[in-house]
């Protein structure tokens, strides 16, 4: 996919749908661009469209989409799970850049406070700072979450083992460990 700057985008009838613009930006951010921090600064964080506004404008229609699919009003080739995976990948990439979602606003000047819908993020099974096996599966390009989970097993050789932390009944990986593991895969 070719990146589209804001001026081209606003003049192009091909991208008349605001939601499609936003979803395309998420796709480019997650899967196309190499310098994610620069892309984030250029496309998501400015005076008119901060990241929290972007997420609010994109999440609400997608949640409605998910509801319409569930009750059978809308039929499409995309499942609600694909939309969730898309957002999980987006959140995981944000955490790779900022270290944790609560830490994001510390890099912004002034009284700005990030207001992402944390309840929705946690409902996806995500921790605001640490990485779930599902996030690592998506970031690492693995086919199944089980393949990544097996790397945390004590029977895995130590040089390949994924170090985990437990919080209640949940198992997570720290950002440092995720970065180490992804760098071994050449994926960060």
Residues 40-84: tens digit of each pLDDT = 778 766 534 466 677 667 766 676 666 767 777 666 666 667 778
Which are the contacts of 18, defined by CB distance < 8 A and separation ≥ 6? 57
Whole-number Å distance between alpha carbons of 173 and 152: 10
CA dist 120 → 125, 132, 138, 163 (Å) = 9, 15, 18, 27
Q: Which pLDDT tens digit goes with each residue over 84-134?
A: 888 889 889 888 887 766 545 444 433 333 445 666 677 777 888 899 999
Instruction: List the domain range (segments joined by +) for residue 158.
Output: 130-188
Q: Are 131 and 172 in contact (CB under 8 A)?
A: yes
- Whether residue 63 sits in one domain with residue 33: yes
- Whether residue 74 sits in one domain with residue 13: yes
Give the residue-averaged pLDDT of 139-168: 91
Token pair of 183 as six digits? 């760098």
Whole-number Å distance between alpha carbons of 186 and 49: 32
- Whether residue 40 sits in one domain with residue 76: yes
pLDDT at 155: 92
Q: How many domains does the chain have?
A: 2
Instruction: Kindly tell me if the per-residue pLDDT of 173 is higher than 90.
Output: yes
- Whether residue 107 sits in one domain with residue 179: no
pLDDT at 52: 65
């Amino acid at each position: 996919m070719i990146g589209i700057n804001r001026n081209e985008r606003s003049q192009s009838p091909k991208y008349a749908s605001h939601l499609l613009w936003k979803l395309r930006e998420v796709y480019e951010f997650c899967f196309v661009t190499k310098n994610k921090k620069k892309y984030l600064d250029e496309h998501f964080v400015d005076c008119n469209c901060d990241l929290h506004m972007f997420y609010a404008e994109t999440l609400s229609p997608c949640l409605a989409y998910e509801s319409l699919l569930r009750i059978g009003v809308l039929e499409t080739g995309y499942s609600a799970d694909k939309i969730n995976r898309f957002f999980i990948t987006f959140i995981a990439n944000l955490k790779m850049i900022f270290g944790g979602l609560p830490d994001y606003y510390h890099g912004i000047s002034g009284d700005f406070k990030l207001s992402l819908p944390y309840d929705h993020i946690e409902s996806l099974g995500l921790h605001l700072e640490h990485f779930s096996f599902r996030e690592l599966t998506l970031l690492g390009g693995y086919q199944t979450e089980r393949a990544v989970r097996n790397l945390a097993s004590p029977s895995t050789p130590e040089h390949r083992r994924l170090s985990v932390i437990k919080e209640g009944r949940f198992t997570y990986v720290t950002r440092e460990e995720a970065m180490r593991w992804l760098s071994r895969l050449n994926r960060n």
